[in-house]
Amino acid sequence: MSASITRESRWKIVVGAVLVQLALGGVYAWSVFTPVLHMGGWSKTHTQLVFTAAIVSIAVAMLFSGTLIRRWGPRPLILFGGSTLSAGYLIAGLSGTTSFLPVFLLIGILAGFGIGLGYMVPLVVAMRWFPDRKGLITGVVVAGFGFGVMGWVKLADSWGHLLENIGLSNTFVVYGIIILLLVMIGGRYMVFPEVEAGIKSLNATNCLTRREMLRTPEFYIIFAAYASLAASGLMAVGLMKLYPMELLMNSGVERASASVITGTAMGVFFSLANGLGRISWGAASDKLGRKRSVMLMAATQGCWFLLFPSLAGSEFTLYLGATLIGFNFGGNFALFPTLTADLFGADSVGDNYPVVNLAFGLGGIIGPTLGGVMGDLGDFTMAFTICGFMCFAGSFITLFLKSSVHRFAAEQDYQIEPVSNSSRS
């Protein structure tokens, strides 16, 4: 496959990467199932625990992805990860179970693990093919993950009406089949460039190993900032359908209409803005710098969270709030991988970013769990206030980030060793 791709035709890689990310993005469609599960006797905390399990499983599985990319190659790894994700939905659907524990294990743990195995593949491959446009191309690739939310949500809800027409279990089966098809098609293009393709090595002489990265204060700064932003964002994502539904129904809107409105807010406005935010923040960071972009994104996100309770009770202001929050939330997934590559080396990003991304897993424990508890208490306003101040904290923490990790390495008087071909991801 790589012989048929040249520098001029390398955009085929982007198309394949976006298809793969579309398949992996179904995790954020979980909120579309929560009203059905609540009517089946699930508590808000139970529904948030499945989402939490998926986020944690993604983070843990990503730790192994750098090693597996080197050993297996990108195409076999993405096919295995995608098949694992698909199997979680297919088994859950074909078994017909809607009980908490089986769904928790199959969609929370198994499907989440499949996503984590595959998530780094399109990012690493795209960075290898586009070393000259790192921020933009990372944003474009991860935008597929964000745009996927719209397709998955609307397929089950107001466009495809799957939940209404075929029920929850059969919807899981359809999801599993579509995921497998997307991964098989996009995975064909997940290959590294050959030397003759004209793509230069990605600064292999300026890479820190995972152990060296852990010796720098930069790692702990971006880890703390990312954890704050992830916890706030994931907490909000888990509540942004339930809270507006309650407000709309309290104002006299029928349940069916409220479900359509909130589904549109999350499945269309949030999703589209999420994808556009990934591209826009990635491109902006090439101009503004990663540190400044993270600080700006986090600070403005904090403002939108504080404003959201006043926007959530009306259809059009809800759409506005979902758009603003989705746009900034998407920026995390473009900025932190490229920030990791800039600080610690692009050739080692496959090993190092999964460790940084553990912050997202930590946020996935704190945010949705706290959101579920506060949702059961009915204190949504306080929940979004907490989200806002978490974002302000993330912006402030980023202020202490140095512009170059190599300067810190020099101060500590240790040598940054090149990453050998055998250890590059």
Average pLDDT of the residues in 374-393: 89
Q: At what angle do helices 315-344 and 271-288 cross, to 10 degrees?
A: 40
Would you tell me how many other CB atoms lie within 10 Å of the CB of residue 289?
A: 15
Comparing CA positions, the residue from 47, 95, 120, 24 lying closest to residue 425 is 120
CA pair distance 117, 24, nearest whole angstrom: 10
**pLDDT for 98-157, tens place per residue?**
889 999 999 999 999 999 999 999 999 988 888 778 888 999 998 887 777 778 888 888
What b/e sequence results for 300-337 when a residue is b if at least 16 CB atoms lie within 10 Å of its CB, and e otherwise?
bbbebbbbbbebbbbbeebbbbbbbbbbbbbbbbbbbb
Nearest to 278 by CA among 234, 332, 356, 349: 332
Domain boundaries, the chain: 2-423
Q: For residues 425 and 420, give the distance between their C-alpha atoms in angstroms, rounded to a whole number.
A: 10
Q: For 2-423, which CATH class?
A: mainly alpha
Of 265, 39, 43, 47, residue with least CA distance to 163: 39
Please determine, for residue 84, whether its predicted confidence score (pLDDT) is greater than 60.
yes
Residue 202 pLDDT exceeds 60: no
Give the residue with greater pLDDT, 8 vs 72. Answer: 72
Rounded to whole angstroms, the Cα distance separating 417 from 54 reads: 35
pLDDT band for 374, please (50, 70, 90 cuts).
confident
pLDDT per residue as tens digits for the range 276-302: 999 999 999 988 998 999 999 999 999
- Averaged pLDDT score across all residues of the chain: 85
Res. 367: pLDDT tops 80: yes
Full-model pTM: 0.78
How confident is the model over 96-111, as pLDDT tens digits? 888 899 999 999 999 9
Hey, what amino acid is at 124?
V
Helix, strand or coil for residue 216? coil
For 44-139, strand residue ranges (E) read none
Q: Is the pLDDT of residue 418 over 60?
A: no
The rounded distance, in Å, linking the Cα atoms of 91 and 419 is 41
> Other CB atoms closer than 10 Å to residue 94's CB: what's the count?
13
pLDDT at 410: 47
Quick one: average pLDDT of 37-47? 86
Taking the C-alpha atoms of residue 36 and residue 363, their distance in angstroms, rounded to an integer, is 26
The beta strands (E) that lie in 53-125 are given as none
